[in-house]
Amino acid sequence: MNRIQLPTNALSIDVEDYFQVSALAGQFPRSGWETVPCRIERNMDLILAVLHEHGVKATFFTLGWIAERYPKLVRLIVMEGHELASHGYGHERASDQTRGAFAADVQLAKAVLEDIGGVEVKGYRAPSFSFSDKNPWAHECLAAAGYQYSSSVYPVVHDHYGMPDSPRFTYRHPSGIVEIPVTTTRFMGRNLPAGGGGYFRFLPYAASRWMIRRVNKQDAQSAIFYFHPWELDPGQPRVHDAPAKSRFRHYINLDKTEARLRRLLTDFQWGRVDEVFLNNPALALAA
């Protein structure tokens, strides 16, 4: 594969710990987070080391809750040249909040991250890609809070999220916010999930490589890919009383993620979300 002829893709990390995922919310209520042992520092140290080794800069969509408790981690992200972006404050789905509560959450997260990191926070990703037709005001709240872009829509069919009929590639919302949907590839009349997360662990690595390469070559588009720090942590505590489906999704192939990530960083060219997508001339014309 000739990497020079393919678009640069955007690598993103949703900075949250294993006990903050939506699938395990029943086992780890927000009121008890302070008592749960964190593993975010160990996992982030590994990710930053792997990115440094491969010379890759990425975007870290970071929870305000994490940033307040691990400010050195936030400053390290910035110091190493990565983009600091927002994942909201407390990992509450946008679809579970009122407009007022969501507006307050994204404003607080942006203020916390900017105060600690000392840089402007341009981007936001909703927990569990929870932008849908049920909260059409979400982009407007981001614009009012001073964000420039969002990556909160996944155009797939999924039982927890997804807007399969939304645009597959970057567009400008009427609010002015640039929306960067998580990458899919179109195949046999369906959008296949090519943007990472649990699919990256569940499917063979060759499937992810094929889908991203297809988007780069056939669609001539940059892909946006994401993963979580806990997905590189096979030693994390096991939650045995979670539903079987949640356990399967959360724990499958954790021991393979690091090796697959290293292959991904070698097989494609990667950059920060803001640098890959915000300088798109077509978006400027659409403003």
Q: Structural domain boundaries of the chain?
A: 3-286
Retrieve residue 134's tokens: 């049920």
Q: What is the mean pLDDT of residues 142-163?
A: 83
| Residue 108: CA count within 13 A, CB half-sphere | 16
pLDDT at 249: 87
Retrieve residue 123's tokens: 């981007």
- Among 274, 279, 271, 226, smallest CA distance to 57 is for 271
Residues 6 or more apart from 212 whose CB is under 8 A from it? 9, 183, 185, 194, 223, 225, 268
- What does the alpha-carbon distance between residue 40 and residue 35 come to, in Å, rounded to a whole number? 14
Q: Would you say 13 and 227 are in contact if contact means Cβ atoms under 8 Å apart? A: yes
- Give how far Cα 84 sits from Cα of 32, 59, 164, 211, 262, Å: 27, 6, 28, 27, 22
- What does the alpha-carbon distance between residue 168 and residue 6 come to, in Å, rounded to a whole number? 18
2 pLDDT more than 60: no
- What does the alpha-carbon distance between residue 75 and residue 135 come to, in Å, rounded to a whole number? 33
Length, in residues, of the chain? 287
- What does the alpha-carbon distance between residue 71 and residue 175 come to, in Å, rounded to a whole number? 32
4 pLDDT more than 60: no
157 pLDDT more than 70: no
pLDDT at 282: 62
What b/e sequence results for 85-124 when a residue is b if at least 16 CB atoms lie within 10 Å of its CB, and e otherwise? bbbbbbbbbbbebeeeebbebbbbbbbbbbebbeeebbbb
Q: What is the pLDDT of residues 18-56, one digit of tens each?
A: 999 988 988 999 999 999 999 999 999 999 999 999 999
- What does the alpha-carbon distance between residue 170 and residue 266 come to, in Å, rounded to a whole number? 25
- Phi/psi at 15 (5° precision): -85, 100
The single-letter code of the amino acid at 123 is G
Alpha-carbon Rg of the chain, whole angstroms?
18
Retrieve residue 92's tokens: 């509450």
Alpha helix ranges (H) inside the chain: 40-54, 64-69, 71-79, 99-117, 138-145, 198-202, 205-217, 244-251, 257-267, 273-277, 281-286
Q: What is the pLDDT of residues 71-84, one digit of tens each?
A: 999 999 999 999 99
Q: What is the pLDDT of residues 241-277, one digit of tens each?
A: 888 988 988 999 999 999 999 999 999 999 999 999 9
Strands 184-187 and 190-193 turn out to be antiparallel
Q: Taken in order 99, 95, 251, 25, is the CA torsion positive or negative?
A: positive
- What does the alpha-carbon distance between residue 193 and residue 211 come to, in Å, rounded to a whole number? 8
Predicted TM-score (pTM) of the model is 0.94
Report the CATH fold assignment for 3-286. Answer: TIM Barrel (3.20.20)
- What does the alpha-carbon distance between residue 193 and residue 212 come to, in Å, rounded to a whole number? 10
Q: What is the pLDDT of residues 78-107, one digit of tens each?
A: 999 999 999 999 999 999 999 999 999 999
The average confidence (pLDDT) of the chain is 93
